[in-house]
Structure 1
Amino acid sequence: MIKAIFFDVDGTLLASNGKVLKSTKKAIMQAQKNGVLCGISTGRGPNSLKKIVKDLNLDMFVTYNGQLVYTKEKVIYAQAFEKSVINDIVTFANNHSRQLVFGGKTRTEGSLTMRIGESSFVRQMIRFIPSRFPIRRMKLILQKYSPNKRKNRYSNLAILQEPIYQCMMLGAEYEHEKLQAALPNCDFQRSNPFAVDIVPKGGSKVKGIQFFLADQGILLEETMAFGDYLNDIEMLQAVGLGVAMGNGDLKTKKSANYVTDSHDRNGIEKALQHFDVIDK
């Protein structure tokens, strides 16, 4: 029996217009009436979720790829970076003129380019960029003309005096090994081809989910999760029922127990009906 459901946000909970479908809202409400806890598991932070979830009475929030987990009543798990690791990330960004954003508990601060990229609209548009898009050239242009070329651009940001749960950096998939070598005390999650989420070593959506479930006395096999991209694969494989969206990445689909329709074609409602979580 399913007791908790976790939804990724971009490409899953949100349709391509950046909004939650009426069918999705209705399905979540029906699941909750049936005693199922419903919440989010996302790379986003709390601040960027406010408008998205205002019409959804969600039960739990696994944010920053599992680094900050909370309900309306309490914080269940919070794993911030060690100061020394933040210093390593800042040094790397300054030395390589990288666009970088720091995610705190109530706000984000850093590159304006990256903060604009965090918007739902831009996140959705990114998914329509052709696979042959010249990512290397784009990165070099941004590095050349970026205000980040100012010395120690990020070192004196006020947010660095607060706990930082995740950093978001402009960086293509081909740079994965380079980032691993430069920042060995970090893990890297990716929700699109052009930017990477940097979290403390060992951090993941699954770890955040496990802390929530332990607090609630729910087993992993009693959970269900929906996702569409690479940073959802581990989550879909770990839960009792992993559902990939029809619009999802091919690798993500292969990792799931079930592939539903797209985020624009009532995919969430259809999957919940298919598994008898809600009535048809």
Structure 2
Amino acid sequence: MIKAIFFDIDGTLLSAGGHVLPSTKKAIRAAQERGILVGVATGRDPAKVGRLLKCLPLDMYVTYNGQLVYTNEDLVYSRTFEREALEQIVSYADQNSRSVNFGLREQVIGSRLMKLGQSVIGQRLVRFLPRSLPVGFMKGALQKIHFLRSDLHYRRMGILDQPVYQCMMFSPVAGDRRLAAALPGCDLLRSNTFSVDIVPKGGSKLAGIQHVLTEKGIDTKEVMAFGDHLNDIDMLKGVGIGVAMGNGQQQAKAAADYVTGSNNSDGIAQALRHYRII
């Protein structure tokens, strides 16, 4: 029996227009009325989650790809970068002219370029860009826009003296192997073609979910998870029922137990009906 459900946000809970579909709201309320706990498992920061999903009465929050986990009552789990790992990230960004955002408990600071990319508007734009578009061209073009330029060197911003849960770096997929070699104390989690989430080694959505389950006394076999991208694969494979959205990446679909409709076509409600959750 399913006792808890976790949803990715972008491409899953949110439609391409950045909204939660009425069918999704209704389905989640129906699941909660049956005593099922509902939460998110996302690479987003807590503040952004609160703004994007203020219309949903959620029970659990796995944010920053599992590095900061909490319920409406308690902090469940918190893990930040070791100083050495953060030094390596900042050095790599400086040496390679990479734009980076740094995820803190209450806010995300850093590059204006990355903040645009992490916004709902930015996410919509990315979905319309050709997958073959060179990332180097995109980065160069965007950084010529004056208001996107960073005014401060990352080190002078005091980044190294703050607890950072996750970094988001503008980086092409082709550079992942080089980046991973430069950051041995980190894992790379990708949710789009143009940027990569960097977390402490061993961090993931599934690991974050497991902390909540321990707190609630729920087995992973009693959990359903929804996702659409590469950073969702571990949780889709690791829970009792993994559901991939119809708009999702092929690798995510291959890892899932069921492929539902798209985030624009009532996919969440469809899957919950399929498994008789509602």
1:1-280 correspondence to structure 2 within 5 Å: 1-140=1-140, 147=149, 153-278=153-278
Q: Percent identity?
A: 51
SS in 2 for 1:105: coil
Comparing 133-142 and 73-82, the one that deviates more: 133-142
Contact 2:42 2:205 in 1 (8 A): yes
The code of the aligned residue for 2:105 comes to K
RMSD of Structure 2 on Structure 1 (CA): 1.6
| Structure 1 position 137, deviation (Å) | 2.5
User: What is the distance in 2 between the residues matched to 1:89 and 1:45?
Assistant: 19
Deviation at 1:147, TM superposition (A): 4.2
Could you list the per-position Cα deviations for residues 137-182 of structure 1 after superposition, in whole angstroms to 9, with x for gaps in the alignment? 323556788845x8x7100224543310000000011111100111
In the superposition, relative to structure 1, how do residues 59 and 256 fare at CA in structure 2: closer, same or farther (>3 Å)?
A: same
Number of residue equivalences: 276
- Structure 2's unaligned 5+ residue stretches are none
Do the aligned partners of residues 140 and 182 (structure 1) sit closer, same or farther apart at CA in structure 2, a change above 3 Å counting? farther
Are the aligned partners of 1:191 and 1:230 in contact in 2 as well (CA < 8 Å)?
yes
Q: In 1, distance between residues paired with 2:93 and 2:21? A: 38
Q: Report how far residue 128 of structure 1 moved.
A: 2.1
Matched-pair contact (CA < 8 Å) for 2:113–2:143: no
Contact 1:97/1:143, CA 8 A, preserved across alignment: no
Q: Which amino acid aligns with 2:138?
A: M
Counterpart CA distance in 1 for 2:98 and 2:47 is 23
Contact 2:42 2:63 in 1 (8 A): yes
CA distance in 2, matches of 1:227, 1:14: 11
Counterpart CA distance in 2 for 1:269 and 1:141 is: 40
- Determine if contact 2:112/2:149 at 8 Å carries over to the other structure: no
* Aligned-pair CA distance for 1:125: 2.4
Mapped to 2, the partners of 1:193 and 1:210 lie a distance apart of 28
Structure 1 regions of 5+ residues with no counterpart? none
8 Å CA contact 1:102, 1:109 repeated in 2:
yes
In structure 2, distance between residues paired with 1:159 and 1:46: 19
- The letter for the 2-side match of 1:267 is G
Q: C-alpha distance in 2, partners of 1:162/1:59?
A: 28
Q: Distance in 1 between matches of 2:143 and 2:81?
A: 25
Counterpart amino acid of residue 88 in structure 1: Q
Letter paired with 2:67 = Q
- 1:34 and 1:221 map into 2 onto residues whose CA distance is 18
SS of the residue corresponding to residue 188 of structure 1 reads strand
